[in-house]
Structure 1
Amino acid sequence: MELRKENILIVDDDINILELLQRHLKSWSYHTYKALSVKEAVQILRDTKIDLLITDLKMPQVDGSELIKFVSEHYPTLPKLVVTGYPSIQDSLVAIKSGVADYLTKPFTKDELKSAVTNSLGKRDNLNSSSSNLKPTNDNSYGEIIGKSEKINDVIQVIERVKDNKATIFIKGESGTGKELVARAIHYQGKFSRAPFIAVNCGGIPENLLEAELFGYTKGAFTGADKNRDGFFQAANGGTIFLDEIGNASKAVQTRLLRVLQEKEVVKLGAQKASKIDVRIIAATNGNLKEMIKKNTFREDLFYRLTVVEINVAPLRERKEDIPLLIEKFLFKYGVEYKDRFVRITQEATAILQRYNWPGNIRELENVIQRAVIMCNKIIGVEHLPDNLKFDISFPEDSLLPLKQIEKEYIQKVLNACNNNKTKAAEILGITRKTLRSKMEN
């Protein structure tokens, strides 16, 4: 899917309408930003080149008519489309006077929305002001991201849109798909690359310590706090903080994080005074946060503030054309690491690696290549691959054996090979003990 050149900002306090609008716009290949309030919308407008504003009028605290006035004064060439469920003559007059390009009343059809969006974009005063200069994606690498598949190109196109602004980004994907590489590409390919990049594995820090590590603490805030200390957020000031496995964060951490997103400030544990910070937040998970919201273990308001921009990193089984490029990358990596131990791989071995479904994704592929480099002499052949890879485990879509079961059986094989040492098995699979336990229990 080739993204259009336009960036569209949607503003509505109704989460259902926000998601409906985004879903329709994405189906037409537009790139979207989401905001639940006027305040959040203004922050995005200040940091990002937007080509169309779609906003509701009736919203708490500051309503949409104030946003329209603000945009008319500060971004006079930006077209504005109003979508409202409470039409009135007064609102219509305010909208028209403020130069609104079109006006939709809820409920509306998909065709009506498409027509209004097309009409609004067609009224732009400066057709050439759009941020359309995407980097070509015919190269096989982008930062540390390797691939030529359509799904990787989709990810790179979104990175190009967001790398030079500080909109909050949510990356979702299975364990081992390279979510941190995507976060690093967003940071290091953009204009903030010289600022700090701090990666935090929320699943790797004990729950009772995560709050202190993220936000810092003052002397005496808790037993063992013998001095004032900055947290990861203060360390990332001016740059980017990447919160991996955000689903593991406690409710207390979630509440504090919500304040950071809303107020752009941090309060240390034990402190009374807040400190302003300027940090881009990128969060990621391999879990289903919407299911966690239903179970009341993750805050819904935090979820929607984390997902201003969403990036979905596809599993390796959905982009198998990237496997030869990844193999080449890992052969070179371990050739250098093991002191000029550069080896080749046979076509037969490559074919087997492309046939396999990779439940552990890129991390599992890297582990297989690393082991093969060590075990072979000059050429990696079929005999240097693990036994479970040598059999075709691809199943038709209507197979009775679901992918989760395949993954579970593979993890069990790794556990058996490690004499049931869960720590070692998790290390080989590139996941945490907690994730391993969860996958085996489900």
Structure 2
Amino acid sequence: MALHKENILLVDDDIDILELLQRHLQSMDYHTYKAVSVNEALNILKDTYIDLLITDIQMPEVDGLQLVKFVDEHYPEIPKLVITGYPSVYGALEVIKSGAIDYLTKPFTKEELKLAVLKSFESGAKRKRPKPSLGIVKSTGYADMIGSSEAFQKITDIIDRVKNNKATVLIQGESGTGKELVARAIHYTGQFSRAPFVAVNCGGIPENLLEAELFGYVKGAFTGANDNRNGFFQAADGGTLFLDEIGTASLSVQSKLLRALQEKEITKVGSRKAEKVDIRVIAATNANLLQAIKSMDFREDLYYRLTVVEINVPPLRERKLDIPLLVDKFLLKYGVEYKDRLIGISPEALNILQRYNWPGNIRELENIIQRAVIMCDRSIEVKDLPQNLKFQIDFPNADYLSLREMEKEYVKRVLASVGGNKTKAAAILQIDRKTLRDKLN
């Protein structure tokens, strides 16, 4: 028999069935992974290259079809084989609609299992996952980011161009859009990924301490400086230093940052000796730095030194195509964390999420999903969403009226409600009859 090395994931809460499947498949020279719960299966899928999923339908907490649908959406290249003890025409249709290639009815023989597995592999070969290096398929995932919108693709294209060099990058975008995720993607997908990544929130460090924290200090430089200490620049040497909220740095710190970027060297507070550093600096801001330059709060020369490469992260309201993918990601994260199972979302609830304007961007969306997962039972429904979110939705196709047109419509309604009696209408509108007559004319 030819040697097979395909990895098959078996999911069933019945230990006896799992052992039977494993015994049969190992005798056919397949490598198997076993999971007795969806949570366990998801962890295996996340960390292991799987060639075929075989799952039971009837399982506690999560219906097997939900797992098949999830895998079909997130791992479409993996063929799926369903085992069922309750065969029916309707059931077969549901299995195929959910994304499975075939289903096997209990009890089954070893030969029937073999034929079903071979059929699954043959059918799945057409959807075999491409090697990442070929760049044939653009994945919806990039590092820890996810999206399929044109705006998302523009960001990942820039990341691909800068990840293997140490050009300075400025990431701009509203709060909550994921600027640090972009910075981490640049670092961890490139050739310097094994080097340090040091993130610094400039806005979270008192102004009088930021310089010492960034560049380090020598003993006796100021009260409390009892030892020599390295700063964030030295800690990130060879790797990436991420400076978040760069717009909050004082002009004095900005001056030292400019020198560090130009000369590739820093000087500790209290020292006269310059030290060479080899790092890539990625800065981020949600402030308008050009406006800060005009108001003399930000150095123009530092701005141009930072913007060797500029990445603008759009707000979530401008990439609503990505909302279902982000919702899916957070449902998996918090469903497993809080409920130990997959959590769904109703079309009505998802529709509300897609129509909302998201002033807090992705951070707000994640918080909403986290709360909804805690409050819901098996699926997030409209009732599980915050009240303010239901009523603050965006109506991009609404026909808005001018103030004059709205007034005209309201006057007509009031007149109609009193049978055309102008005296009563004027009293309700709290204007005199002459003013009402002028408006009507």
Q: TM-score range by the shorter chain?
A: 0.5 to 0.7
CA distance in 1, matches of 2:382, 2:233: 47
Q: CA deviation at 1:337?
A: 2.4
Contact 1:334–1:341 at 8 Å: present in 2 too? no
Secondary structure of the corresponding residue to residue 391 of structure 2: coil
Superposition map of 1:198-277 within 5 A: 198-277=198-277
Secondary structure of the corresponding residue to residue 390 of structure 1: helix
Note the alpha carbon deviations across 1:357-394, whole angstroms, 9 max, x for none: 10000000000000001111111100010111112532
Secondary structure of the corresponding residue to residue 283 of structure 1: strand
Alignment partner, residue 301 of structure 2: 301
Contact 1:187–1:197 at 8 Å: present in 2 too? yes
Secondary structure of the corresponding residue to residue 258 of structure 2: helix
Single out whichever of 334-343 and 148-157 deviates more from structure 2: 334-343
What amino acid is the match of 1:226? N
| Sequence identity percentage | 70
What amino acid is the match of 2:156? I
Q: 1:277 to 1:353 in 2, by over 3 A?
A: same
Secondary structure of the corresponding residue to residue 203 of structure 2: coil
Q: 1:340 to 1:399 in 2, by over 3 A?
A: same
Secondary structure of the corresponding residue to residue 338 of structure 1: helix
Contact 1:163–1:187 at 8 Å: present in 2 too? yes
Q: CA deviation at 1:138?
A: 2.3
Q: 1:134 to 1:197 in 2, by over 3 A?
A: farther
Q: CA deviation at 1:209?
A: 1.1
RMSD: 1.9
Q: Which runs of 4+ in 1 moved over 3 A?
A: 133-137, 395-401
Alignment partner, residue 24 of structure 1: none
Greater Rg by CA: 2
Alignment partner, residue 40 of structure 1: none
CA distance in 2, matches of 1:220, 1:366: 46
CA distance in 2, matches of 1:155, 1:281: 18
Alignment partner, residue 72 of structure 1: none
Alignment partner, residue 370 of structure 1: 370
Contact 1:240–1:280 at 8 Å: present in 2 too? yes
Give the TM-score, by structure 1 length.
0.59
Alignment partner, residue 340 of structure 2: 340
CA distance in 2, matches of 1:134, 1:289: 39
Contact 2:355–2:395 at 8 Å: present in 1 too? no
Q: CA deviation at 1:395?
A: 5.3
Contact 2:198–2:241 at 8 Å: present in 1 too? yes
Superposition map of 1:120-159 within 5 A: 135=135, 138-159=138-159
CA distance in 1, matches of 2:401, 2:257: 42
CA distance in 2, matches of 1:134, 1:217: 48
CA distance in 2, matches of 1:249, 1:280: 18
Note the residue ranges of structure 1 that are not aligned, 5 or more in a row: 1-132, 402-442
Contact 1:202–1:246 at 8 Å: present in 2 too? yes
Secondary structure of the corresponding residue to residue 204 of structure 2: coil
CA distance in 2, matches of 1:221, 1:137: 55
Q: 1:206 to 1:400 in 2, by over 3 A?
A: farther
Q: 1:246 to 1:360 in 2, by over 3 A?
A: same
Secondary structure of the corresponding residue to residue 394 of structure 1: coil
Contact 2:163–2:190 at 8 Å: present in 1 too? yes
Contact 1:246–1:284 at 8 Å: present in 2 too? yes
1:172 matches 2:162: no
What amino acid is the match of 1:316? L
CA distance in 1, matches of 2:184, 2:400: 38
Alignment partner, residue 44 of structure 2: none
Q: CA deviation at 1:159?
A: 0.3
Q: CA deviation at 1:207?
A: 1.1
What amino acid is the match of 1:355? R
Q: CA deviation at 1:221?
A: 0.7
Alignment partner, residue 327 of structure 1: 327
CA distance in 2, matches of 1:152, 1:246: 23
Alignment partner, residue 182 of structure 1: 182
Q: CA deviation at 1:400?
A: 11
Q: CA deviation at 1:195?
A: 0.1
1:351 matches 2:351: yes
Query: How many residue pairs get matched?
Result: 269
Note the residue ranges of structure 2 that are not aligned, 5 or more in a row: 1-132, 403-441
1:195 matches 2:199: no
CA distance in 2, matches of 1:212, 1:200: 13
Contact 1:202–1:244 at 8 Å: present in 2 too? yes
CA distance in 1, matches of 2:242, 2:283: 6
Contact 1:372–1:385 at 8 Å: present in 2 too? yes
Q: 1:205 to 1:294 in 2, by over 3 A?
A: same
Q: CA deviation at 1:136?
A: 5.3
